[in-house]
Amino acid sequence: MAILPVVTYDDPVLRKPAEPVDPDHPGLGKFIDDLFETMYEASGVGLAAPQVGVSLKLFVVDADAITEDEEEDSFGPGVFINPEIEVVDPEKWDAEEGCLSLPDIREKVARPETIRIRYQDRDFNTHEEEHSGWYARVLQHEYDHLRGVLFIDYLGAFRKRLIRKKLEEVRLGKAQTEYQLAPKNSGTDEKE
Protein backbone atom coordinates (compact mmCIF):
# COMPACT_ATOMS: atom_id res chain seq x y z
CA MET A 1 0.00 0.00 0.00
CA ALA A 2 1.03 3.56 -0.38
CA ILE A 3 0.18 6.92 1.09
CA LEU A 4 -0.97 9.36 -1.57
CA PRO A 5 -0.47 13.12 -1.41
CA VAL A 6 -3.70 15.05 -0.86
CA VAL A 7 -4.58 17.95 -3.18
CA THR A 8 -6.00 21.17 -1.74
CA TYR A 9 -9.18 23.07 -2.61
CA ASP A 10 -7.51 25.15 -5.31
CA ASP A 11 -6.72 22.11 -7.47
CA PRO A 12 -9.07 22.01 -10.51
CA VAL A 13 -9.61 18.24 -10.03
CA LEU A 14 -11.77 19.10 -6.99
CA ARG A 15 -14.01 21.30 -9.10
CA LYS A 16 -15.05 18.95 -11.86
CA PRO A 17 -17.51 16.04 -11.85
CA ALA A 18 -15.69 12.74 -11.38
CA GLU A 19 -15.86 9.91 -13.93
CA PRO A 20 -17.87 6.71 -13.36
CA VAL A 21 -15.78 3.72 -12.27
CA ASP A 22 -15.67 0.61 -14.41
CA PRO A 23 -15.37 -2.84 -12.72
CA ASP A 24 -12.22 -3.59 -14.70
CA HIS A 25 -10.58 -0.26 -14.00
CA PRO A 26 -6.84 -1.09 -13.83
CA GLY A 27 -5.39 -1.22 -10.33
CA LEU A 28 -8.71 -0.42 -8.66
CA GLY A 29 -8.21 -2.72 -5.65
CA LYS A 30 -4.81 -1.28 -4.84
CA PHE A 31 -6.10 2.26 -5.32
CA ILE A 32 -8.89 1.63 -2.81
CA ASP A 33 -6.38 0.23 -0.30
CA ASP A 34 -4.21 3.31 -0.83
CA LEU A 35 -7.18 5.60 -0.21
CA PHE A 36 -7.84 3.87 3.13
CA GLU A 37 -4.20 4.05 4.15
CA THR A 38 -4.01 7.73 3.21
CA MET A 39 -7.23 8.49 5.12
CA TYR A 40 -6.07 6.70 8.28
CA GLU A 41 -2.64 8.32 8.12
CA ALA A 42 -4.33 11.74 7.99
CA SER A 43 -6.86 10.84 10.73
CA GLY A 44 -9.70 11.56 8.32
CA VAL A 45 -13.17 10.01 8.46
CA GLY A 46 -13.57 10.04 4.69
CA LEU A 47 -11.52 10.48 1.54
CA ALA A 48 -12.72 10.85 -2.04
CA ALA A 49 -10.65 9.87 -5.10
CA PRO A 50 -10.47 13.45 -6.48
CA GLN A 51 -8.75 14.48 -3.23
CA VAL A 52 -5.71 12.49 -4.33
CA GLY A 53 -5.96 13.89 -7.85
CA VAL A 54 -7.91 10.98 -9.38
CA SER A 55 -11.20 11.98 -10.98
CA LEU A 56 -13.21 8.84 -10.24
CA LYS A 57 -16.63 8.45 -8.60
CA LEU A 58 -15.34 6.67 -5.54
CA PHE A 59 -14.82 7.44 -1.88
CA VAL A 60 -13.95 5.60 1.31
CA VAL A 61 -15.14 6.32 4.85
CA ASP A 62 -14.55 5.06 8.34
CA ALA A 63 -16.88 7.03 10.52
CA ASP A 64 -16.51 4.93 13.67
CA ALA A 65 -14.54 7.62 15.44
CA ILE A 66 -17.29 10.23 15.19
CA THR A 67 -20.39 8.05 15.51
CA GLU A 68 -19.70 6.59 18.93
CA ASP A 69 -23.07 7.72 20.23
CA GLU A 70 -25.14 4.55 20.41
CA GLU A 71 -28.19 6.42 19.23
CA GLU A 72 -26.48 7.00 15.90
CA ASP A 73 -25.70 4.71 13.07
CA SER A 74 -22.21 3.41 13.61
CA PHE A 75 -20.22 2.14 10.68
CA GLY A 76 -16.67 1.05 10.09
CA PRO A 77 -14.74 1.01 6.82
CA GLY A 78 -16.86 1.45 3.72
CA VAL A 79 -16.15 1.77 -0.01
CA PHE A 80 -18.68 3.69 -2.11
CA ILE A 81 -18.35 3.35 -5.88
CA ASN A 82 -20.56 5.30 -8.33
CA PRO A 83 -22.79 6.56 -5.49
CA GLU A 84 -26.02 8.45 -5.99
CA ILE A 85 -27.62 10.30 -3.09
CA GLU A 86 -31.23 11.30 -2.67
CA VAL A 87 -32.50 13.44 0.19
CA VAL A 88 -35.18 11.72 2.28
CA ASP A 89 -35.65 14.25 5.07
CA PRO A 90 -34.75 17.73 3.80
CA GLU A 91 -34.76 19.24 7.26
CA LYS A 92 -31.24 20.58 7.78
CA TRP A 93 -29.03 20.61 10.83
CA ASP A 94 -25.77 22.45 11.47
CA ALA A 95 -22.49 20.87 12.45
CA GLU A 96 -18.84 21.72 12.11
CA GLU A 97 -17.00 20.07 9.25
CA GLY A 98 -13.41 19.86 8.16
CA CYS A 99 -11.79 18.48 5.03
CA LEU A 100 -8.32 17.14 4.31
CA SER A 101 -8.26 19.38 1.22
CA LEU A 102 -8.98 22.44 3.39
CA PRO A 103 -6.40 22.07 6.16
CA ASP A 104 -6.98 24.00 9.36
CA ILE A 105 -10.47 25.19 8.37
CA ARG A 106 -13.56 24.10 10.28
CA GLU A 107 -16.95 25.65 9.71
CA LYS A 108 -20.56 24.91 10.45
CA VAL A 109 -22.44 23.45 7.50
CA ALA A 110 -26.18 22.85 7.22
CA ARG A 111 -27.06 19.49 5.67
CA PRO A 112 -30.20 17.37 5.32
CA GLU A 113 -30.75 14.92 8.18
CA THR A 114 -31.65 11.76 6.25
CA ILE A 115 -30.50 10.52 2.87
CA ARG A 116 -30.75 7.43 0.71
CA ILE A 117 -27.57 6.27 -0.98
CA ARG A 118 -27.25 3.81 -3.83
CA TYR A 119 -23.73 2.61 -4.59
CA GLN A 120 -21.51 -0.30 -5.49
CA ASP A 121 -19.09 -1.91 -3.06
CA ARG A 122 -15.59 -3.00 -4.02
CA ASP A 123 -16.98 -6.21 -5.54
CA PHE A 124 -19.43 -4.12 -7.58
CA ASN A 125 -22.47 -5.40 -5.72
CA THR A 126 -25.16 -2.72 -5.63
CA HIS A 127 -26.55 -1.52 -2.29
CA GLU A 128 -29.26 0.91 -1.34
CA GLU A 129 -29.35 2.24 2.22
CA GLU A 130 -30.91 5.00 4.25
CA HIS A 131 -28.81 6.91 6.77
CA SER A 132 -29.32 9.73 9.21
CA GLY A 133 -27.27 11.96 11.46
CA TRP A 134 -23.48 12.05 11.42
CA TYR A 135 -23.04 9.17 9.06
CA ALA A 136 -25.40 10.78 6.55
CA ARG A 137 -23.37 13.96 6.90
CA VAL A 138 -20.08 12.21 6.14
CA LEU A 139 -21.60 10.52 3.10
CA GLN A 140 -22.96 13.84 1.78
CA HIS A 141 -19.60 15.57 2.30
CA GLU A 142 -17.72 12.85 0.38
CA TYR A 143 -20.38 12.64 -2.32
CA ASP A 144 -20.01 16.38 -2.87
CA HIS A 145 -16.34 15.79 -3.73
CA LEU A 146 -17.47 13.65 -6.67
CA ARG A 147 -19.48 16.50 -8.15
CA GLY A 148 -16.99 19.33 -7.66
CA VAL A 149 -18.51 20.74 -4.47
CA LEU A 150 -16.61 21.70 -1.30
CA PHE A 151 -18.11 22.43 2.11
CA ILE A 152 -16.95 26.06 1.93
CA ASP A 153 -19.41 26.53 -0.94
CA TYR A 154 -22.24 26.38 1.60
CA LEU A 155 -20.89 29.25 3.70
CA GLY A 156 -22.41 32.69 3.67
CA ALA A 157 -20.47 35.71 2.45
CA PHE A 158 -19.47 36.71 6.00
CA ARG A 159 -17.94 33.33 6.95
CA LYS A 160 -16.25 33.15 3.53
CA ARG A 161 -14.60 36.49 4.19
CA LEU A 162 -13.37 35.33 7.58
CA ILE A 163 -11.57 32.29 6.15
CA ARG A 164 -10.16 34.08 3.10
CA LYS A 165 -6.71 34.47 4.62
CA LYS A 166 -6.48 30.81 5.63
CA LEU A 167 -7.56 29.78 2.14
CA GLU A 168 -4.86 31.96 0.64
CA GLU A 169 -2.21 30.32 2.84
CA VAL A 170 -3.35 26.88 1.73
CA ARG A 171 -3.28 27.97 -1.89
CA LEU A 172 0.27 29.27 -1.52
CA GLY A 173 1.37 25.97 0.03
CA LYS A 174 1.94 27.45 3.49
CA ALA A 175 -0.51 25.21 5.34
CA GLN A 176 1.02 23.03 8.04
CA THR A 177 -0.36 19.50 8.06
CA GLU A 178 0.64 16.22 9.62
CA TYR A 179 -0.16 14.47 6.38
CA GLN A 180 1.36 14.87 2.94
CA LEU A 181 -0.07 17.50 0.62
CA ALA A 182 0.56 17.42 -3.11
CA PRO A 183 3.27 19.92 -4.09
CA LYS A 184 2.17 23.19 -5.68
CA ASN A 185 3.25 23.74 -9.28
CA SER A 186 5.96 26.30 -8.94
CA GLY A 187 6.55 28.71 -11.77
CA THR A 188 3.05 28.37 -13.18
CA ASP A 189 1.34 30.59 -10.63
CA GLU A 190 -1.89 31.91 -12.02
CA LYS A 191 -2.79 35.50 -11.38
CA GLU A 192 -6.16 36.08 -9.75
List the catalytic residues. 142
CA distance linking residue 32 with residue 77, whole number of Å: 11
Q: Least Å distance between CB 191 and Ni ion?
A: 27
The nearer residue to Ni ion, 99 or 152, going by C-beta atoms, is 99
Q: Least Å distance between CB 132 and Ni ion?
A: 20
The nearer residue to Ni ion, 131 or 141, going by C-beta atoms, is 141
Q: Least Å distance between CB 118 and Ni ion?
A: 21
99 near Ni ion, rule: CB under 5 A: yes
The nearer residue to Ni ion, 13 or 99, going by C-beta atoms, is 99
Name the one range near Ni ion by CB under 5 A: 31-39, 93-101, 155-163, 165-173: 93-101
Which residues contribute to the site for Ni ion (CB under 5 A)?
99
